[in-house]
Amino acid sequence: MNKVELARMIDYTLLKPDATTAEIQKVCHEAIELGVYAVCFNPIHITTAKRSLAEHDVKVCTVAGFPLGASISAIKAFETLDAVNRGADEIDMVMNIGAFKDGAFSDVQIDVAAVVKAARGKALIKVILETNLLSDEEIRHACILCRDAGADFVKTATGITSGGATERHVEIMRESIGYDMGVKAAGGIRDYDTAITMVNAGASRIGTSSAVNILS
């Protein structure tokens, strides 16, 4: 896979809490130059991103329930509806990891479904599992819950907790859902070789703040 092809699989991400408008605009400019698929910012930056990317084929992704997944479903749904109304093309939501660990699987599925419903088919929904906190069997189960709730993608990690995407976790996710959904590998992907490893393991999207380094 060449770098042009890889670029079309990358969500160029800037989610740090102190990101400035100038930094967001810089990432958008770089995204256009690199030819990446999407940028991913916190919700407050959606309008800036849409303006910066006007007339360019780069999608705008944002987050809901980020970074802990511990918001109530109504809040995640509101974040999603607001983001879609302001032009977001994709939403990366964080699964309710504590509920999953409690065995409250119905609550987890309802949580994801609430976000899917709020998007009204106008934005893709990716669910962050935080795979480094889950066993292999838990990853499989979480993937199925997300699939059954109507999500479009499952995603490895926020990058906030220790650990990120691993080749094994991506393989498990792809094996669990087949090819009817996407798999986004994110967390610790900072160079071309690691990105390609994740693609070969089954990732259909790469989330990274290191797009310039990967694609240079």
pLDDT at 208: 98
Across all residues in the chain, what is the average pLDDT?
Answer: 97
pLDDT at 160: 86
pLDDT in tens, 62-85: 999 999 999 999 999 999 999 999
Question: Which pTM was predicted?
Answer: 0.97
* 44/164: higher pLDDT: 44
List the domain boundaries for the chain. 3-215
pLDDT band for position 162 (50/70/90)? confident
Contacts made by residues 136-144, CB under 8 angstroms, sequence distance 24+: 136/168, 136/172, 138/100, 139/169, 139/172, 139/173, 139/176, 140/172, 140/175, 140/176, 141/105, 142/95, 142/100, 142/108, 143/172, 143/173, 143/176, 143/177, 144/176, 144/177
pLDDT of 164 strictly over 90: no
Percentage above 70 pLDDT, the chain: 100
Q: Which helix (H) or strand (E) holds 208?
A: strand 205-208
pLDDT in tens, 128-147: 999 999 999 999 999 999 99
H-state helical runs in the chain: 3-7, 21-34, 46-52, 73-85, 97-101, 105-119, 136-148, 167-177, 192-201, 211-215
Q: Which fold has domain 3-215?
A: TIM Barrel (3.20.20)
26 is catalytic: no
pLDDT in tens, 177-214: 999 999 999 999 999 999 999 999 999 999 999 999 99
Q: Judge if the upstream peptide bond of residue 67 is cis by omega within 30 degrees of 0.
A: yes
pLDDT at 95: 98
User: Which are the contacts of 76, defined by CB distance < 8 A and separation ≥ 6?
Assistant: 64, 65, 93, 111, 114, 115, 118
122 is catalytic: no
Q: In whole angstroms, what is the distance from residue 113 CA to residue 148 CA?
A: 9
Q: Which of 11, 89, 92, 111 is labelled catalytic?
A: 92
